[in-house]
Amino acid sequence: MALLYMTFFASRSAAQKMVVTAPSPLTCGNPSDAVPLYWSTIPSVDVFYTTAITDITSVIRSDGYDFGGITCLVFTTQELSTVPLFHVYNGNDIDNFYTTSTTERDLALESGYTASPIAAYIYPSQICGSIPLYCIYTSIDTAHIYTTNVTERDAILALGGWTDEGITGYVLDYQSTCA
């Protein structure tokens, strides 16, 4: 598998070294295998994400969630170049937390979260036409929100009380003609 690597050195500093990788098509998961990542919410309390519409139906019926829509497209099985999107849940704070980091997952588990099945598989870097999945967090309600929409992210951050936790990973746009 041939990858094109271009490395630019702006100075002697390793921190300023930039590596640009152009992946070959063989490094991408098959976009036709991607499925919707649905979301549902209890307003001002929690947001739940899943690829299984039966899970959405269950939390609506049993836990009082409202259906929100589709966040993006993800994979339900490991595809080329993807990593697990771990899901942990804190029942005391009613918070669903998703991360690709085993360290973050383990810290959450040590802090009282319980492990749930892997939510999906996503790209760890922006390749294959993927877009960022942003995470924002509030300690006021102990809630995480994930979005691919920069305008939505910025509007929530502008409300105050929310922290930008950066990019969780990279996903496919559900409005893309490729999907």
Q: Using CA atoms, how far apart are residues 101 and 118, in angstroms rounded to an integer? A: 12
Number of domains in the chain: 1
Quick check: is 83 in a domain?
yes
Quick check: is 108 in a domain?
yes
Quick check: is 7 in a domain?
no
Quick check: is 2 in a domain?
no
pTM here is 0.82
Q: What is the mean pLDDT of the chain?
A: 86
pLDDT band for 171, please (50, 70, 90 cuts): very high
Quick check: is 125 in a domain?
yes
Mean pLDDT of 124-143: 94
* DSSP annotation of 11: S
> What pLDDT sits at residue 45?
87
Quick check: is 148 in a domain?
yes
Cα-atom radius of gyration of the chain, to the nearest Å? 17
Question: What is the span of the domain harbouring residue 73?
Answer: 31-171
Quick check: is 6 in a domain?
no
